[in-house]
Every structure is written in structure tokens, then in C-alpha cells.
Amino acid sequence: MTDIQLKKLKDDLWHSADMLRASAHLAANKYGQPILGLIFLRYADILFKQHKAEIAEEYQRKIGTRSEKTMKQVSIEKCGFYLPECAYFDFINNAPDDAEKATLVKKAMEEIEKENPSMSGVLPKEVYGQLVPEEEPELLSKIIRVFKDIPEDIGIDLFGEIYEYFLGNFALQEGKDGGTFYTPATVVRYMVEVLKPEIGNKLFLDPACGSGGMFVQAARYMHRHNATADDMMKFMCYGVEKEPDTVKLAKMNLLLNNVRGDIREANSFYADPHNAVGRFDYVMANPPFNVDEVVYDKVKDDARFNEYGIPKNKSKTTKKASDKKETVPNANYLWISYFATALNENGRAGLVMANSASDVGNSEYDIRKKMIEEGIISQMVTLPSNMFASVTLPATLWFFDKQKPNTDKKDKILFIDARNVFTQIDRAHRKFSDEQIKNLGIITKLYNGDEQAFIDLVEEYRAELTSAPEQSDDKEVITKAYWQAQIDWLLERFPEGKYRDVIGLCKVASLEGEDGIIDQDYSLNAGRYVGVVIEDDGMTKEEFKAEMLSLNSKLAKLNEEAHSLETLISNNFKELLG
């Protein structure tokens, strides 16, 4: 399936959500549950069909032998689960277009959970009755037929992409609420590009895992770097999420992407279900920012948080102890400490954090100073604004490396200001393109001495340049001008194919020396080191002109209204005095 075909398929499938919005008796933030459940049902059906002949052959071969197994046992071995006949998509699709369809879908979900205990409580079951409104009882059937159009020879990786596409769209639709379960895939892909998770017996933690996107992108990175099925069986993901519905989304996401995981429902501030301290090879997360109600006494003795110090208020509260328990003034540095302490001696971490945490003062300053001097912070990246559905201001990526203190980079940190590197989705949202992820990622690789990666990337773009058309009326077709721009971006900044500081983009700062980290009062704000960046607003010249004309028109109208009001007030005042 080509990229264009996949995009069309995603757009066609998204039409099912539009159908729900038009007719279903559902709240605006509940569209995701039935749609994601049907995606899973169709996934299970297709995957089971793809393995059905193999399952039947294995079952027949072992009948009457000492190793005889049930059809269910063989199915779980071959494709990870057993699908009862009542959950076959054709069985449901071919049933009459009436209210009984909802009962069939519910039974299918219940039987899947019954036959596969690891999925117990994960699938939505009760919501489908709301998709057969009295005025349009065939609505659910229409939506099921949309998903029947997914080709039965589709790759399972593409199914994972479809699920992720829906998660991202629901996050955009739901705004702030949706952002609590979804981190934009392109941000996660860039984080993974920097961390470079290795194949082997590796443990991966996300203590605020949302819908599990960090795990999925790490697994895809490994697939792209030739991980085998046996390799992926050694890759184990551990997640913590406090919202029950989001835990279900994460479990479905991992199942759809064939990723092994253990997702627990818990509050990571007060519970440590995976015994995290010193255990993990990788930690990645996008935790909630600026939480201010964490009870101090519940975390002050927790080894996950207190190795570097617990944030405390500057002065004691004026409230009586009986009125309110002391809280941590801001939990950002609890998260930051947690990621550092969860790593084993070779571990690496990447996390999304509020910009303000990079140079906040008070007790957080002491924690940051200790981490910097210990040498575990390897890289800081300032993101463009409007990359997240729930956060409009730019966030910052922090990267830790427990091996760094033993290298010649111990007293150095790589700063990247990526505020001008983005692709505009719409007026309110941005993302990284595939090439922007690669271009930013190559900065880290060059810094770490991987000059061959730079040569390979330039050659990759040159190959694309050679085969691309000069121009095209189709917006989906990438022309030579685009690929030449990617080559120019790389060669203009790193003409010798080696790392160098680039004003406005990247800078390696040392702990000591003029304009060093100590001189900057232990700030981790990339802008202090790389130079001033004038952030692009994402508009073309024509869009900017249109925007200014529109604003000018609005200003003229406001001035006219103001003049009318001024005259009215003046006349009223004269009448009052007359």
C-alpha cells in the first residue's frame, strides 16, 4: 500500500467519526470509544484470518500426538489471541441493519475478553447501544461497513498507524482533554531518534503512558533497524496511567502494534507498581505539567524522588496544619527526578517538560544544579509552539544518559533550539515532517561522532532528488525543489559533514568558561546558548498579506464604532447638562 493509498484509507475511515457526530446519541468526547473498539475488532479479524490456515495445519498435525493442543492454544501461539466465531467481522457485518447489531458487537467484545484473559476489561462494550438511535437504527451498520473496506491483506504495522491516526485526530477534536492521552507522534518519533533504543533484553518505562505512543514508536524504530520477531519478544514495556479509560486505550494500542507490555492503573506520584528505581534501560514520558497538589509527606521519603531533592516552598504556609497538608509547590521536578532515578547504570531517558522548568529558581534550582554537575543531562531541545493539542506554549525535551559521566562529554550539554523547525498542519497546530525529524536527529548523531549517518542522509535525499519530478499539480507529490531544500539545509549548516555550533540552532555548552552553564546560572534554556531565534509564524507571504488586510479591516470597523460611541456619549452628556 502506497503512502497516498494509506492516506486515502485513513481519510475514508475517519468519515465514520463524522457519521457519529451527525447522528449518534453520544457526548462530543465519547466518539473515540466505539470507533477504536471497532478498529480493534477489525484488526483481530484480519490478523486471525491471516494466520487461520497456519493455525488449522498446526492443529491437525498434532491431533493424536503427545503434544496435541486445542484450537485456542494453537491460535494464541500463532497470532497472540483466539477469536471466537461470534466475533468474526463478516458475521457481524452480514447481520440485519437494526438494533440487534449493537447486541452482536457487545457479545463479540465480551467473548474476546472471555477467551483472552489478558484483554479482560479492555474493550468497550456498553457504548454501542447508543449507535442505533431510533431515528436511524442502521447507523452502526453503516459504520461497520466503513471498516469492512480495510483490505484483508493489510500489514499489521499499517493497522497500528491507523489506530494512531485516530488517536491523534480524537486528541485534536477533544482539545485539552484529548491531549491528556496523546503525545503527537512526530514529537515521539524525534525523541526515539535521539534515544536510539537498542535491540536486546531491554526494559522500557513510561510512568505517565497515556495511550502508549512512546512504546509504539520505540518498537517501530527497532523494526526499521531490522529487529526480528524474537528480538521484539525481548523488548518489554512497563506503563503507569491513572485514568482507567486511557489505560484501555494503551492496552489496545499495544495489542494493535504487537508490543509486549504491562500497563498498570495507578498514580505515579504515590505508587510504584514496577519498582522503578535503577531498573530501566529507557524511560520516555510526556507527564502532566505544573501539578501543584502532590502531598509532600507522601513523596519526601520515596527513593524515586529524593535522590536529588524534593521541591519545597520558600516559606512555611500560613495555614494551620489541620487546614491543609503541605504540598510540593510544583511537581515538574518530581517527574524530572523520577526519570533520572529509574535508569540503570547504562540507561537513557527522554521526557517532555514545561519550558519554565529549564531555569526555574528556588529549591528546583538546587536539584537542577546537582543533576548538571553529576553529568547525566545530555541534551536539551526547545520545541516549536502549538505542537500539542493541549499546550500552546513551547515545551522542552530533556534527555538523560547515565553513561555520560564516564565520557569526555561529562561537563558538556548539547542545546538545540527547534522553534523554527516545523510543518504547519492548520492555523492552530504544527508537527515535524519525516525529513525534519531526520534533520534534527542528525545533529545529535554528528555530536556523537557518527559522521557516516550524515553522509548516508545526504545520499538518501540525493536519490530522492534524482527520481522526483520537477513540478506537479498534485500536492501529495514531492518535487525536486523539496529534496534540494533538505540537502541545502544540511550542507549549509554542516558543510564539512561534522558537528559545529550553528547560531540559532545548536550549541555545545560547557559547565565552565565564558557563557558556560555556570556563567548562565545553571539555566537549561536553549535560547541562552544558541542565540536569538525569531520564531516563524508559519504563514506564506500571501497568507501574511491577507491576514494584515483582514486585521486592518477589523481595525477600521472598530475605529468607526468607537467614533459612533464617542458621538453618542457626547450627545448624551450635552442632554444631561442641558
- DSSP 3-state percent helix, strand, coil across the chain (nearest 5): 50, 10, 35
Q: Residues 284-318: pLDDT tens digits? A: 999 988 888 899 999 999 999 999 999 987 755 54
Residue 494 domain flag: no
The owner of cell 535503577 is 278
Boundary (domain end) residue, out of 131, 154, 177:
154
Residue 478 domain flag: no
Q: Residues 254-289: pLDDT tens digits? A: 887 878 899 999 999 999 999 999 999 999 999 988
Mean pLDDT of 94-118: 90
Of the pLDDT bands very low, low, confident and very high (cuts 50, 70, 90), residue 103 is very high
Q: Residues 536-556: pLDDT tens digits? A: 555 555 666 667 777 777 777
Q: Is the dihedral of CA 453, 457, 463, 466 positive or negative?
A: negative
- How do strand 235-241 and strand 261-265 relate by DSSP bridges? parallel
* Residues 309, 128: Cα–Cα separation, whole Å: 49
Q: What is the CATH number of the domain that holds 114?
A: 1.20.1260.30
Domain with 562, as residue range(s), is 544-578
Boundary (domain end) residue, out of 154, 176, 200:
154
Q: Is the dihedral of CA 251, 212, 183, 43 positive or negative?
A: negative
Residue 114 domain flag: yes
Residue 65 domain flag: yes
Residue 113 domain flag: yes
User: Helices in 225-349 by DSSP H: which ranges?
Assistant: 229-233, 244-256, 296-299, 303-306, 332-341
Residue 460 domain flag: no
Boundary (domain end) residue, out of 154, 171, 206:
154
Model pLDDT, residue 564: 79
Mean pLDDT of 83-106: 91
Q: Residues 358-378: pLDDT tens digits? A: 999 989 999 999 999 999 999
Q: Residues 225-242: pLDDT tens digits? A: 887 877 877 889 999 999
- How do strand 429-431 and strand 423-426 relate by DSSP bridges? antiparallel
Query: In this prediction, what percent of the chain has a pLDDT beyond 70?
Result: 91
Mean pLDDT of 339-354: 96
Average pLDDT score over the chain: 87
Of the pLDDT bands very low, low, confident and very high (cuts 50, 70, 90), residue 535 is low
Total number of domains in the chain:
2
Residue 120 domain flag: yes
